[in-house]
Amino acid sequence: MKAGKEWKAIAWLVGGFFACYFLPLEREAFRRGVWEGFELLRWYAREHVILCLVPAFFIAGAIAVFVRKEAVMRYLGPGAPKGLAYGVAAVSGSVLAVCSCTVLPLFAGIWRMGAGLGPAVAFLYSGPAISALSIILTARVLGVEIGVARAVGAVGFAVVIGWIMAQVFRREEKAKVLPQEAGEEEGGRPLWKTAAWLGAMVFLLVFANWSEGAGDGFFGFFARWKWVLSGVCAASLGVALVVWFGASVWKVGVVAAVVGAVAWGAPDFGHGWAQVIFALGAGGLVWIIAGEEGELGDWWNETWEFTKLIAPMLFAGVFVSGFLLGRPGQEGVVPASWVASVVGGNSLLAISVSAVAGAFMYFATLTEIPIVQGLLAGGMGKGPALALLLAGPALSLPSMLALGKIFGAKKTVVYCSLVVVMATLCGWIYGVVFA
């Protein structure tokens, strides 16, 4: 065994040596790819970590600690009624309207708590792929027919892909039903308190990341009042920490005073100041719960475990994604002209290339719409456009790498393949009908 480990170490060292020896630094494409990798990494750190990823890690930790396992098994477990389980998963995922990376800690939370593979995967897909705002903006910008096609395709995908995953790995699913049949635990905090607690955190995540370009009407209301609503959610969390969980009153008071003073004194409440305030709040929350005993301390421990598990793979994946494919409007090692040259028309090859390219690219929430709009203006076919809309937001290279750490390479490969195949099939049908 020891000899095997030594040979493995030697192989890594030799491989690393040759990789460094033959680095093509003289090639412009390679240098551009490295630059774009760091550019995308910097953009991701500035735009998505504090407001998206950090709250998601805390929510995942809270699910692991405060949500009773029997409740998850009852509504999302392998033995739960299929209609209820898939309905709850698809609806709860679609409410979030988060990107493919932000949904991962939340998925990991319910997966570890015993959710069935099918409902958990439905939640995993629906989170980044389905939201009322994305569907409405797609219809408004790209046309009603493609907006409706995206809505129907995405909702159907969440259920179909989840069901297929459950069937492929049904032996493991049967094994997960056994603990539920042994009996349910009694006692604990009332369900409405846990639901209100998690709901406040989820809505804080949703409101803080609400698109400010949502226009008028219903969505425009939330865009105008997003920071006020976020503040209400944050204040509710502070009160609950003291009243329901016994957190230190003076610590919560100090954090609230500091965060409130910075928010009040901020010259404007734009994106930069919002990140400063969120960072202060997150740091204060760590200070409040990290040294506590019981549930609060367990909450921090679980949050930190999720962070260590997922964050490194996400950052590595973002860099590799930028290195290969660049940022929106920029190209990495792979020339954008190569991709654009094969996505014109509605051939099966064009649609499959679009689905695969979308699966590896990283799209922030709602950014896929202007990107597809530009590609359509440049000659992209309708079928490839829909395939990109269905596969792009749900997958990315960073999410694939992190997903492999959560539930293994085999399930990750099957899930990613199903998303690409279903996106290709749906795009082909749409292209045939509407071309």
Any bridge partners for residue 344, and if so which? 380
pLDDT band for position 94 (cuts 50, 70, 90): low
pLDDT at 60: 85
The DSSP H or E segment spanning 26 is: none
**Where do the structural domains in the chain lie, given as residue ranges?**
33-177+292-434
Q: Between 196 and 376, where is the model more confident?
A: 196
- Write the DSSP assignment of 231-268 as a string of letters: HHHHHHHHHHHHHTT---HHHHHHHHHHHHHHHHH-S-
pLDDT at 185 over 50: no
Q: Between 68 and 24, where is the model more confident?
A: 24
Q: Between 141 and 250, where is the model more confident?
A: 250
pLDDT at 135: 78
55-59, 93-97, 366-370, 393-397: which range is least confident on average?
A: 93-97
Terminal Cα-to-Cα distance of the chain (whole angstroms):
60
Q: What is the mean pLDDT of residues 140-152?
A: 82
- Write the DSSP assignment of 105-159 as a string of letters: HHHHHHHHTT--HHHHHHHHHHHHH--HHHHHHHHHHH-HHHHHHHHHHHHHHHH
Length, in residues, of the chain: 435
CA distances from 181 to 175, 270, 282, 367 (A): 11, 51, 39, 45
pLDDT band for position 180 (cuts 50, 70, 90): very low
Give me the percent of the chain exceeding a pLDDT of 90.
19
pLDDT at 184: 43
pLDDT band for position 139 (cuts 50, 70, 90): confident
203 burial via Cβ count (<10 Å: 0-12, 13-18, 19+) = middle
Angle 296-300-304 (CA atoms, 0-180°, nearest 5)?
165
pLDDT at 2: 59
What span, in angstroms and rounded, lies between the C-alpha atoms of 246 and 201?
18
pLDDT at 93: 64
Q: 192: how many CB neighbours lie within 10 A of its CB?
A: 9
Range with the largest mean pLDDT of 76-90, 168-182, 278-292, 327-341: 278-292
Q: Tokens at residue 74, please?
A: 């009852």
pLDDT at 181 over 60: no
pLDDT at 106 over 80: yes
311-320, 324-333, 390-399: which range is least confident on average?
A: 324-333
